[in-house]
Amino acid sequence: MNTSSAGYDLRPLTSAEREHRARHLSAAVRHVLFEHGTEPPFCGGLLEEKRQGVFVCTLCQLPLFRSQTKFDSGTGWPSFYAPFAADHVREVRDTSHGMIRTEIRCARCDSHLGHVFPDGPAPTGLRYCLNSAALEFCEQAPAPDGDTSPRR
C-alpha cells in the first residue's frame, strides 16, 4: 500500500473511481481539476475562509493544507506556505503561457490544484496559490483510514 507520511492512502484512483467521484462536479470545477484551469482572481469561495480546519481535495478528500498555514497573499487566490504533508501534493513543471512555473497536483487523484511560487512568507518562503474549486474546507481532517468517499 502506498501510504503518506501522515498515514493517508495515496494509491492512485482508477479511471472508474475518478469518474464516479467527479459525477457531481460542476463544469467549472471539472475545468479546474481536469483541464488545469484557473479561476478568476478574487472570486473563489475559500478566499475569505478563516476558520480553523483543513482544506481537502474536492475530488478525493485527501487533506492538502491546514488553515494555520493560510495567509493573505493579495493575489486573489487562497494561499498557503506549506502543505498538510509534503507528499500530499505533487509538483510538475509547467511551461504553459510562455513562462516556467511549478504546478501542484493532488498526490492521490492527480487533480490540478494551482501553482507554487518562491515568494511566500517564512518559515518556508513558498506560496502555494490554489483554486478554491480544487479545495473543500473541513473543520477536521478526515481520518487516515482509507475511506476517501466524497463527503457530500
Give the domain extent around 42.
15-138
Q: 4, 10 in Cβ contact below 8 A?
A: yes
Q: How far is CA 55 from CA 1, 15, 95, 97, 99, in A?
A: 24, 24, 27, 28, 28
- In this prediction, residue 97 carries a pLDDT of 72
Catalytic residues: 129
pLDDT tens by residue, 7-30: 999 999 999 999 999 999 999 999
Q: Which position has the higher pLDDT, 70 or 140?
A: 70
151 within domain boundaries: no
CA 127 remoteness from chain centre: 13
Domain CATH code at residue 114 = 2.170.150.20
| Residue 117, strand partner residues | 127
C-alpha–C-alpha distance, residues 141 and 84, integer Å? 10
152 within domain boundaries: no
- In this prediction, residue 145 carries a pLDDT of 67
- In this prediction, residue 152 carries a pLDDT of 35
3 within domain boundaries: no
148 within domain boundaries: no
pTM over 0.85: yes
114 within domain boundaries: yes
Scanning the structure block, which residue is given the C-alpha cell 512555473? 101
**pLDDT above 70: residue 128:** yes
**pLDDT above 50: residue 148:** no
Structural domain tally of the chain? 1
